[in-house]
Amino acid sequence: MSCKTAILISGSGTNLQAFIDQVADGKLDLDLCLVFSNNPDAYGLERARKAGIPTDCIRHGDFEDRESFDRAVAAVLDEHHPRLIILAGFMRILSPWFVDHYEGKVLNIHPALLPKYPGLNTHQRVLDAGEEWHGSTVHFVTAELDAGPRILQGRLPVDPNESADELQHRVQAIEHQIYPQAAGLVGSGRVKFDAGRSIIDGDVADEPIVRTFD
Ligand code: GRF
């Protein structure tokens, strides 16, 4: 049976679209059971509706604190019984309660070769530092921001003459390939989370799988 998967978004949802397309093409065996947003205007909700995926939205501004919003989100999610939760441009820091409630089930993609460049504005920081390589990392979510066990990285050589926008565009194209792939590995059970580490094909993995792109 396909792994029931919820996708959380806040914006345009190009990563969500990659999941939708790969499932439709039969390349990815996940059951996309819910697309959730904290932003009613997120274009990703429209993408989900077009694909016939159930959607829900709760505005974080209507809640007093982070955890009460997260508990409301979890109540919606739990109605759909997801085994996997994909953060795809979900612009919220998760409370410790939420991370604990879904330990080992939440994936994030971060536009850098973690542990390098956690946080924001990664593309410009990479260019400013004169890095030779940049890319994106899919990882399990833990309490520490952008620091959970890594699963899969896509990397590409940096052209020192390109702009941050161009670099971002190239990195996003990679994300649309590696994020569904990593989620598929978790959904099929080839990758697991155990005691704060990634287990890849039965072995504790201190390093992620790395794919190199042009
Ligand atoms: C991605 O670039 C990802 O790295 C970051 O948020 C962005 C989401 O973009 N976490 P989209 O909404 O999927 O287009």
Among 111, 68, 64, 71, CA closest to 87:
111
Is 55's C-beta closer than 6 angstroms to any atom of ligand 1?
no
Mark the ranges of the chain whose per-residue pLDDT is less than 50. none
Q: Which residues pair with 86 in a beta bridge?
A: 7, 107
Among 17, 13, 37, 12, CA closest to 28:
17
pTM for this entry: 0.96
**pLDDT (0 to 100) of residue 14:** 97
Tell me the per-residue pLDDT of 155-169, one tens digit each, with 9 for 90 and over.
Answer: 999 999 999 999 999
**pLDDT (0 to 100) of residue 78:** 97
Ligand 1 atom 7 nearest Cα: 89
CA distances from 174 to 5, 96, 107 (A): 21, 30, 16
**pLDDT (0 to 100) of residue 119:** 95
Locate the ligand 1 atom nearest the alpha carbon of residue 14 and give its number: 14
Is 7's C-beta closer than 6 angstroms to any atom of ligand 1?
no
Angle separating helix axes 14-24 and 164-187, nearest 10 degrees: 40
Q: If you count them, how many residues does the chain have?
A: 214
